Amino acid sequence: MKNQLNISFPQSPTTPPRDVPNCNAWPSMPRPVAEMKARYGNAGQFLATFTPELELQAARFMERAYLGKAPALETVVSGYGEDTAVVLLCLLVEDVNNFVGVKEKMPVSRQKELAGIILTEYPVLKVTELLLFFHRLKCGRYGRFYGMVDALFITSALLQFMEERRKEVSRYKAAREKEREQGACPSATGGITYDEYLALKRRKESNHE
């Protein structure tokens, strides 16, 4: 039977629980969460933005994937709830399911378990970094799947990615620091940036609504 991922988009909570006696005492929204919601909208809009098709853009604009303004998983959980973060991860894993030519796919129950492990072990990973990781995974950078889409293979590959991330982030930060010291400005290439691509994507989706 074909593995299917049937998940509805969670809605972002907008009001405090009814059992809170004094709504004026409700804590203010943390800045990263507020910025995330202002940029991407509610949970459904957020999930519609960060789809597997953005993996190529993350790979083409690696510096922005690492150092850009995309939210970390812990911010997604704080702002949209853990269910939204799980849906995001399951969608990325399901895309691998469809990409890899093996007979045994990863079932939804295992996808959710894998998502929980990633949320627990790597809460600081940005969404764009996850897109970059899954792009590299599909490129065969960490090896190939044999016979089945293996959750343990993915978690092992994540360990390798985190080491790559450490080195690459250090290199990009060092380059930025050198530019600041020299007063250099990035040269204009005439191309489109990663953030501009996201803005165009959101504008296009709004025009079709």
pLDDT for 166-184, tens place per residue?
999 999 999 998 888 887 5
Is 0.85 topped by the overall pTM?
A: no
Question: Is residue 30 pLDDT above 50, yes or no?
Answer: yes
Sequence-distant (≥ 6) Cβ neighbours of residue 28 within 8 angstroms: none
Q: Are 90 and 108 in contact (CB under 8 A)?
A: yes
Q: Residue 99, CB half-sphere, CA atoms under 13 Å: how many?
A: 17
Residue positions counted in the chain = 209
Output the CA–CA distances (angstroms, integers) from residue 37 to 32, 55, 209, in the order listed: 9, 21, 19
- Count the neighbouring beta carbons within 10 Å of the beta carbon of residue 185: 7
Once rounded to an integer, what is the mean pLDDT over residues 63-79? 96
Distance, CA of 167 to CA of 169 (rounded, Å) = 6
CB 70 within 8 A of CB 127: yes
pLDDT band at 1 (very low <50, low <70, confident <90, very high): very low
- Residues 125-149: pLDDT tens digits? 999 999 999 999 999 999 999 889 9
For 48-66, how does the pLDDT look when each residue is reduced to its tens digit (9 = 90+)?
999 999 999 999 999 999 9
DSSP 8-state class, residue 23? G
Neighbouring CB atoms inside 10 A of 152's CB total 8
